[in-house]
A and B are shown apart, each in its own frame.
Chain A
Amino acid sequence: MKILLVDDEQKFINMLAKRLALRGIEADTAYTGEDALKKASDTVYDVAVLDIKMPGISGIQLKKKLCSLHTNLKFIFVTGHGAVERSEDEDSEKDIYLSKPLDIGFLIETIEELTQAG
């Protein structure tokens, strides 16, 4: 199982990647949407964890672009807002929205549910 973590908060996703690695989940990090697209073009991921508000390409826009590359890719959105801004896509109901700060156990459970449902 391979995860793509995308957030402009570098320390946040670096830590998250390290913690996932400790739990046996391989995770790549990208700090911008463009970086994420570049990595996704080289590697096939099972789940993408995206921040909604990012400089340049937003999380919602990035999802659309990643979907065109990998149709089976599952998405988890992370946001600093208390209330979650949902995407207006038809598939948005399948997306998972989590708010910061994240509980690692809950994140891993969510990832596993998504991949098993897959």
Chain B
Amino acid sequence: MLKIFPDFLKSLRPEFHQHRKNVHLDSFFTFTNYRYLWFMSIFILALTALSPICIATLIYYQLIETSVDSDLNHRTKQLTAAAKSAVTFFMEERLNALTFTVNENGYEQLADNARLSEILNNLKLGFGGVTDLSVLDAGGNQVAYAGPFNLEGKNYKNQSWFEQSLKKMNYISEVFTGYRGVPHIIIAVRSAKTDGSFFILRATLDTERLMQTLSSYKTGDYADIFLVNHEGVLQTPSMHYGSIFTPTNLIFPTDSDEIEVREISLKGKYIISGHSFISRDLTSTPFVLMVLKEKAGMLKFWQDMSFKFNWIMGVSVIIIVIVITFASTFMVNKLYRADRAKAETMMQMEQSQQLASIGQLAAGVAHEINNPLAVINQTAGYMKDLFTFKDQTRNDDELAEYIDSILDAVDRCGTITRQLLGFVRQFDVKIKKVNLQKLISQVLSFHKKEAEYRRIHVTVSIPDIFPDLETDSSKLQQVLVNLINNAFQAVEEGNCLDIIASQIDTNTIELVIHDTGCGIPEENLKKIHEPFFSTKQNGSGTGLGLSITYGLIKKLGGRISVQSTEGVGTSFTIILPVKIKEGRIA
């Protein structure tokens, strides 16, 4: 297992990392930046593969959120409606019971404490939550009282609930502490006496019973159900806002019987809030029912599922990226190997072509040497003949002349062999100062006889003031040999070959090799720099000359272009730097 992991990592590491820099070989590579190619391949594949997954995930989350929100709102609304119904029924039941008591008994019976105590006991048994009962006259004086507290004779004239009760037929108060200091609610019913004046029957309700009713609707730890008054003061304890009578910042813009559900933020928590005013048909209550549900708690199931989903997604993404990296490495490795093989072949071909160029030159030189050798041969032979056929002595002037002739011929052979040797030696030389005029003359010297024989007019035009080039003379020489050889092959008897050099600026020169030969057909112009493309018949051309020339010009930091018209001629234009950049040459 331990051994497999490094092997796996190795298979993800592309081969070009081990590439050793070789400027000469590298110049033949089609792709120069394999690192960039590798990264781009991984990036594009990853983008293509992961984009749909990411988009689908986002859409999935969006849909889940929308449906969960909608579900939460619906559930909160249902809970609020149920709790509202229970609270309304709680209030209504007790108010109706009180109204029934007033109508059934009348003032005279209710003003009797014994009867009132009996009624209180019945109410406690029937409904529960009723602490005491009292009867008040129109002046606020307590006429009768039944209950555990000694409140007989109290006057409530100045109490707010009494004033409210006088105005309406019945009244339900907010929660308040009153004289007893205990939170309670007052329900009061107004009724007329036989003499036309009116009295009030008041009941005190225990808030504990109401709170129990509310608590029964609480589901789970994340729900909070409580009552507030219209000003937002707590009427029952709240899990979020605290104990009773604590003011909240809850604002209720509309006094509507409808249930409203909204999302609020409380202490950094997202909460779904439902509220509704508690009202009756004939009288309204001061209560607003609040239902708060913590979104996080309700979302726990979805969050657990999302957590698992994220894990699966994360692992999938890692696997996809590893597979993509593996595939990219595999593809880039294949490309790199093919490119390296091509570059190595091209480099070998360049060397072969160099040798072929030398071979071509050697053949030309041999021909040139053979002629003077023939003269030497015949002259020396004739000298031998003179000694054989005539009796001549050492002071013979004629003999001296023939010897001179031999020496002259030998000298010519010497010149040619020196040129040849000089030419071959330059293949070893790297960057040095090159006189273009001399280099062109040297190359042309091998074509001198051919030009004479075929009456080809060769002109070389170089300005008097022309800079020496600091370049690789052997490569430039090979370029000139290739292009001039091609030109000689393209021209027919009586045609012209013009070599024109000019300086474009201080750093650049232009060299045009123009012939009035057969020209290159348009369809071949695009292919001439391709390796192994040749129009020469019978396999006399390797198809590498121009391909290698293009490569050499690139190495010399220049560029080459060709203009040709079939039947009119061809011009090769070379742009070269006067001084080649360091490190360019292999």
- A39 at the B interface (CB under 8 A): no
- B149 at the A interface (CB under 8 A): no
- B366 at the A interface (CB under 8 A): yes
A16 to B375 CA separation, bound complex (whole angstroms): 9
Q: Mark B443-463, 1 if CB is under 8 A from A, else 0.
A: 000000100110100000000
Known: A15-B381, A53-B453, A82-B366. A9 touches B371 (CB 8 A): yes
A46 to B409 CA separation, bound complex (whole angstroms): 31
* Segment of A69-77, A87-95, A96-104 in the binding face: A96-104
Known: A54-B453, A80-B367. A104 touches B381 (CB 8 A): yes
8 Å CB contact of A101 from B377, B405, B453, B455: B377
Chain A neighbourhood of B371, CB < 8 A: 9, 12, 80, 100
Contact A18 B382 (CB under 8 A): yes
8 Å CB contact of B382 from A15, A56, A101: A15
Min distance, Cβ B398 to any Cβ of chain A, angstroms: 10
Known: A11-B379, A81-B367. A101 touches B374 (CB 8 A): yes
Min distance, Cβ B104 to any Cβ of chain A, angstroms: 147
Contact B389 A22 (CB under 8 A): yes
Chain A neighbourhood of B368, CB < 8 A: 80
Q: How large is the interface on B (under 10, 10 to 19, 20 to 34, 35 or more residues)?
A: 20 to 34
- B385 at the A interface (CB under 8 A): yes
Contact A101 B379 (CB under 8 A): no
A15 to B406 CA separation, bound complex (whole angstroms): 11
In the complex, what residue of chain B is closest to A83 when comparing beta carbons?
B363
Contact A55 B455 (CB under 8 A): yes
- A2 at the B interface (CB under 8 A): no
Contact B375 A9 (CB under 8 A): yes
Min distance, Cβ B419 to any Cβ of chain A, angstroms: 17
Per the 8 Å Cβ criterion, residues 9-24 of A in contact with B are 9, 11-12, 15-16, 18-19, 22
Chain B neighbourhood of A11, CB < 8 A: 375, 378-379, 405, 409
Chain A neighbourhood of B366, CB < 8 A: 80-82
State the main secondary structure of chain B at its contact with A: helix
A20 to B324 CA separation, bound complex (whole angstroms): 87
Contact B453 A12 (CB under 8 A): no
Min distance, Cβ B408 to any Cβ of chain A, angstroms: 9
Chain B neighbourhood of A16, CB < 8 A: 378
Tell me which of B368, B373, B376, B379 has the highest count of chain A C-beta atoms within 10 A of its own C-beta: B379
Q: Mark B365-398, 1 if CB is under 8 A from A, else 0.
A: 0111011011111110110010001000000000
A101 to B373 CA separation, bound complex (whole angstroms): 6
Per the 8 Å Cβ criterion, residues 26-83 of A in contact with B are 53-56, 58, 80-82
Min distance, Cβ A109 to any Cβ of chain B, angstroms: 15
Chain A neighbourhood of B374, CB < 8 A: 9, 12, 80, 100-102
Tell me which of A18, A81, A101 has the highest count of chain B C-beta atoms within 10 A of its own C-beta: A101
Min distance, Cβ B455 to any Cβ of chain A, angstroms: 7
8 Å CB contact of B378 from A12, A55, A80, A99: A12
A18 to B376 CA separation, bound complex (whole angstroms): 14
Q: Mark A97-118, 1 if CB is under 8 A from B, else 0.
A: 0011110100000000000000
A34 to B452 CA separation, bound complex (whole angstroms): 16
A58 to B454 CA separation, bound complex (whole angstroms): 9
8 Å CB contact of A15 from B370, B373, B379, B389: B379
In the complex, what residue of chain A is closest to B380 when comparing beta carbons?
A15
In the complex, what residue of chain B is closest to A54 when comparing beta carbons?
B453
Contact B452 A102 (CB under 8 A): no
Tell me which of B366, B371, B449 has the highest count of chain A C-beta atoms within 10 A of its own C-beta: B371
Contact A101 B378 (CB under 8 A): yes
In the complex, what residue of chain A is closest to B372 when comparing beta carbons?
A9
Chain A neighbourhood of B381, CB < 8 A: 15, 19, 104
Chain B neighbourhood of A101, CB < 8 A: 370, 373-374, 376-378
A102 to B373 CA separation, bound complex (whole angstroms): 10
A55 to B449 CA separation, bound complex (whole angstroms): 9
A102 to B374 CA separation, bound complex (whole angstroms): 7
Chain A neighbourhood of B455, CB < 8 A: 55-56
Q: Lowest 8 CB-CB distances: which A-B pairs, in order?
A: A15-B378, A101-B377, A80-B370, A100-B374, A101-B374, A80-B367, A100-B370, A11-B375
Chain A to chain B contacts (Cβ below 8 Å), 18 pairs: A9-B371, A11-B375, A11-B405, A15-B381, A18-B382, A18-B385, A19-B381, A19-B385, A22-B385, A81-B363, A81-B367, A82-B367, A99-B370, A100-B374, A100-B377, A101-B370, A101-B376, A101-B377
